[in-house]
Structure 1
Amino acid sequence: MSKLQALYDSKRMTASDAAGQVRDGDTVVVPTGVGEPPALLHALSARRHALRDVAVSQILPLRKFAYLDPETRANVRHDAYFFGGANRAGGQAGWVDYVPAYFSELPMLIERGLSPADVVVSLASPMDEHGYFSLSLAPDYTMAAIRRARVVLLEVNPNVPFANGDCLVHISRVAGLVESDDELFEVGLPEIGPVQQAIGKYVAELIDDGSTLQIGYGGIPDAVVVQLQHKRELGIHTEMLGDGILSLIESGAVTNRKKTFMPGRTIATFALGSRRLYRTMHRNPGIEMHPVEFTNDPYLAARNDKLCAINATMQIDLIGQCGSESLGHLPYSGTGGQADFVRAANRSKDGKAFIVLPSTAKKGTVSRIAPVLSPGTHVTTSKNDINYVVTEYGVAQLRGKTAKQRAEALIGIAHPDFRGELRDAARKMNLL
């Protein structure tokens, strides 16, 4: 038996024993999405009544573990970096708290001790011959948390790909190993309707061959992806690697040859897709997973010429402020990396930052283009950063435009049923 294997065996334990290393007052950091370790989080949930003042911090939890319980919040609570289906109701009811932050800056907050990280739990690939595990599904802020944490616990699963990039952890840094072989959480492409298709067509027409893409999560960004398969020599530098990007790689539209920063490689910080995606990532020299302070740093991402950032919002006002993360004061998602990549695309030579949204909500009864944002709305992308805004009715290019020009352009891509009242409101605001 090799020394590495003996070390591995000495650190192998049950999920219950691993969760026993969490102490009162600890903050447990969990990777984004699919990187969350189910066996470890179920074990932590089962132990929660014996704990006090433990926080779990994560972006986009995918499963509603038992610790997500308002009745035991004093034992184990959830402090969100970003809301999803599993924790949104708790955030809106007030028993789940959140940390406002740019995705790119979460590692810095952790490293400076501004955001605690006492214990890290993560899914990981099997160990390689050199003693390394790959945290391929989400190195994001997790790598920074590992450098800071007292305890690192890995759930080793053979279905986790061993990916290249700055996502490797040596066994000497690990306090406990739990083995599982459950299938990974899968997320398919969302349903794309005629509104999404129309928006996607407008955006696709503005993306040149040889561009490098960042594609956000959601139906509209994926509708753009579907209409890019005829493009040539595209590159990828993004935060999320999903099945939409995989389809561009498989179609030959993405080659990464024209990238001016890290050519030849698809760069991302977390994966969220199908089993096919995860298998494609395994030992693939054309895909690298890196921490989010690298992928989302506006300066580094902007080293890609023709960087096109495609992200969705829920509401925009007549001077271009985007509310992409809340419904009024109620949290819905989070800041994430939208502002990171809007700024990166603005810095990029010949870059383009797209904010996409349907023109209406609530079955056509509410305009998403509003005179002012709804009271309490969290501003995600500022009026100073906004560039292209796209609805199913067209494209408004706002960067460099006056407030009056912006109002005119945005009204022009609003739903026709609301243009009259938007004009009336704009006149009262001295914007027309």
Structure 2
Amino acid sequence: MPNVIATLDAAVEALLKQIPGPIVLGLPLGIGKPNPLVNALYRRIKADPSRKLTIVTALSLEVPSGKSELEQHFLQPLVDRVFKDYPDFDYVKDSRGPGLPPNIEVREFFFKTGDYLHNASAQQHYISTNYTFAARDLVLQGINVVAQAVGQRQGPAGWELSLSSNPDLTAEIVERCAATGQPLLKVAVINEAMPFMEGGACVSPDFFDWVVTDPAATHTLFAPPNAKVSTTDYAIGLHASSWVRDGGTLQIGIGSLGDAIAHALILRDRQPESYRSMLTSLCPDGLAGRELGRFEQGLYGCSEMFVNGFLKLMQAGIVRRRVFADLATQKAVNAGQLDPDTLPGGVCMTGGFFLGPTDFYAALRALEPAQRAQIDMTRIDFINQLDSPCGTEMELKRAQRVHARLMNTTMKVSLLGAAASDGLESGAVVSGVGGQYNFVAMGHALPDARSILMLRATKETADGPVSNIVHHYGHCTIPRHLRDVVITEYGVADLRGQSDAEVVKRLIAIADSRFQDELIAQAQASGKLETDWTLPERYRHNTPQNVDRLLHPWTEAGLLPGFPFGTDLTADELKIVGALRRLKKATQHPVDLVKLALRSFWEGREAPPAYLERLGLDEAKGFKALFIRKLFAGNL
């Protein structure tokens, strides 16, 4: 049995005594970190320059604070309500502020998107690695402690622990250290808020050396509210959902695009006529080859990230195709020789880690035993790759993951089909490679699978919109030889097996029309496109306004809501957010800002007193504050 430690302070004292030299602390990504223990250790070593600490992790989450005074005023009540007692990391605060002390270093292999673009220390200590290599590379950093927040319960055989949100890397790290004889102290910290997950996440207490039971280690989980799903997101989600085959396998990610895909799949199953009409309006080439039927067999979810959208698909009865751990059984089910509904066991969802809104965690905690048993939270080296020391396991994965549709988001796609998803041309890291490369490669390795990369066709900048489909780009996450399916709000480009010229043509057909002529000229100048080629007229109407117009009837009918799976924001907060977004966009365009200001003063509009109080504008004095107050009112 492990050593049970009653307090965080005692755990820190014991750790410092157990490891008298430098401590290299490995932490799970996302919500699997034991924040209170990490902070207690960080403070002790920060105060003692004779000790050294290196933290190796990914996705260090921080409560939103807002960049402007308006945002800060708005966010504080929301943060108090949603994030409650979630403790931010001291090392994150110091990294963003005065900097880390010289005896402490933080190395991450995945950033919260865009958070560290201008942080030189974080950029310099970033580790670029695939998710499936992360455990290997953490061990190479010399980690001698791994600490994780866990859930607990009293099971039939006694006390049980769950790696909960993060069974992704821990077991592999432990195995790799044991195989090389590298000493590793394994510390579990119980957080009663962690949902108890089963499958590969369920471990006996003696998996760990120490278990910290201090009630002070229990706190609210980091719960990012659902992002609003835009018309652009819905157009992409509708296209992507029509590539999902009944009886197949699905991977999607977090955020508004993941929610758009999940909602579109539910529409396809429950309102097939409306779904077909939406797609018909979006597809100038017709619906040939698209999947439009209901889900009679259901889907199997197999994704490194178990997101809220997957839970909604399970609740809707769409993610329900069970797979089995026995190869002979799985083959017999695939061949129709066995009815899976008559078989015991099996799971319909396999995930490596999870992160989501407040109601997502609440739903996981409230699962009935039979529902919980359908979800296998397990290791990332099982999920993200087919390779395995055991050939039978590889064959089993192939039998389980039939007709896989592996969907990922990217930032830029070149006209030859390469994709940049994690960094800029300068080398600055936006997020990280994560498992994207693994799933793209798997999309080619599985015989009936497809890799699907999704991106919004344009990005708004201070200088106006720019195209995300570009002639070339100085950074690459996915090389052109792995090009497969690319989707924007304007359609689908099936690139598999196509010549370079055909790839160029298909990508230009789904680019924003404001940039198509420039892309054509660049491709022709580089010799990748015939000089006499012209873009067919049916692709010349790729504008945001046209997408809005095409989907407007279903938006008005309530079939494409801004928050299909709910939101933590109140109705008043949504109105304030909308006004602040419009105001922020106007500030990037001086002419628009002047027009908005003149209209606001001319119309003499005022915001509701409660809104002004929420933003700290109720007692505005001075020209700047009064000006902002008027602009805000004009944007409501």
What TM-score do the two structures reach when normalised by structure 1?
Answer: 0.90
> What is residue 310 of structure 1 aligned with on the other side?
407
The separation in 2 between residues aligned to 1:400 and 1:196, in whole angstroms, is: 27
Task: Report how far residue 250 of structure 1 moved.
Answer: 0.4
**1:294-373 equivalent positions in 2, closer than 5 A:** 294-299=382-387, 300=394, 302-303=398-399, 304-328=401-425, 329-362=427-460, 365-373=465-473
The separation in 1 between residues aligned to 2:224 and 2:435, in whole angstroms, is: 19
Task: Report how far residue 87 of structure 1 moved.
Answer: 5.7
| Counterpart residue identity of residue 225, structure 1 | A
> What is residue 301 of structure 2 aligned with on the other side?
236
The separation in 1 between residues aligned to 2:120 and 2:414, in whole angstroms, is: 23
Aligned length: 420
The separation in 2 between residues aligned to 1:91 and 1:178, in whole angstroms, is: 36
1:197 aligns with 2:225: no
Structure 1: gaps (5+ residues): none
Secondary structure of the equivalent of 1:269? strand
| Counterpart residue identity of residue 290, structure 1 | T
CA distance 1:311–1:48, change in 2 (3 Å) = same
Secondary structure of the equivalent of 1:354? strand
Question: Over aligned residue pairs, what C-alpha RMSD do you find?
Answer: 2.4
Residues 108-167 of structure 1 show CA distances to partners (whole Å, capped at 9, x for unaligned) of: 334xx4243211111101254444311011111122233435212221022222222222
Query: 1:318–1:372: 8 Å Cα contact kept in structure 2?
Result: yes
Task: Report how far residue 245 of structure 1 moved.
Answer: 0.6
> What is residue 384 of structure 1 aligned with on the other side?
481
Query: 2:485–2:495: 8 Å Cα contact kept in structure 1?
Result: yes
Secondary structure of the equivalent of 1:275? helix
Task: Report how far residue 169 of structure 1 moved.
Answer: 3.8
The separation in 2 between residues aligned to 1:282 and 1:185, in whole angstroms, is: 23
**1:179-190 equivalent positions in 2, closer than 5 A:** 179=214, 180-190=217-227
Secondary structure of the equivalent of 2:39? helix
Secondary structure of the equivalent of 1:153? strand
Residues 184-238 of structure 1 show CA distances to partners (whole Å, capped at 9, x for unaligned) of: 2223332110100001111111212112101123322321111111141111011
Query: 2:113–2:430: 8 Å Cα contact kept in structure 1?
Result: no
The separation in 1 between residues aligned to 2:403 and 2:488, in whole angstroms, is: 22
Secondary structure of the equivalent of 2:152? coil
> What is residue 24 of structure 2 aligned with on the other side?
27
Secondary structure of the equivalent of 1:41? helix
Q: In the alignment, which of 42, 53, 62 is matched to residue 45 of structure 1?
A: 42
> What is residue 67 of structure 1 aligned with on the other side?
91
Q: Which range moved further: 96-105 or 318-327?
A: 96-105
Query: 1:354–1:389: 8 Å Cα contact kept in structure 2?
Result: yes
Task: Report how far residue 349 of structure 1 moved.
Answer: 3.3
Q: Which range moved further: 303-312 or 256-265?
A: 256-265
> What is residue 351 of structure 2 aligned with on the other side?
268
| Counterpart residue identity of residue 270, structure 1 | F
Residues 391-412 of structure 1 show CA distances to partners (whole Å, capped at 9, x for unaligned) of: 0111111111111111111111
Query: Which structure has more helix as a fraction of its residues?
Result: 2
Task: Report how far residue 99 of structure 1 moved.
Answer: 1.4
Structure 2: gaps (5+ residues): 63-87, 178-182, 270-293, 325-329, 332-344, 388-393, 530-636
Q: Which has the larger radius of gyration?
A: 2
Task: Report how far residue 19 of structure 1 moved.
Answer: 2.9
| Counterpart residue identity of residue 295, structure 1 | I
Secondary structure of the equivalent of 2:519? helix
The separation in 1 between residues aligned to 2:6 and 2:323, in whole angstroms, is: 47
Query: 1:18–1:153: 8 Å Cα contact kept in structure 2?
Result: no
> What is residue 170 of structure 1 aligned with on the other side?
204
The separation in 2 between residues aligned to 1:191 and 1:294, in whole angstroms, is: 32
Query: 1:371–1:422: 8 Å Cα contact kept in structure 2?
Result: yes
Query: 1:313–1:357: 8 Å Cα contact kept in structure 2?
Result: yes
The separation in 2 between residues aligned to 1:96 and 1:73, in whole angstroms, is: 16
> What is residue 291 of structure 1 aligned with on the other side?
379
Q: Which range moved further: 31-40 or 55-64?
A: 55-64
The separation in 2 between residues aligned to 1:76 and 1:55, in whole angstroms, is: 6
Query: 2:116–2:122: 8 Å Cα contact kept in structure 1?
Result: no
| Counterpart residue identity of residue 61, structure 2 | L
Secondary structure of the equivalent of 2:161? strand
Residues 8-29 of structure 1 show CA distances to partners (whole Å, capped at 9, x for unaligned) of: xx52232233234155422211
| Counterpart residue identity of residue 16, structure 1 | D
Task: Report how far residue 316 of structure 1 moved.
Answer: 0.9
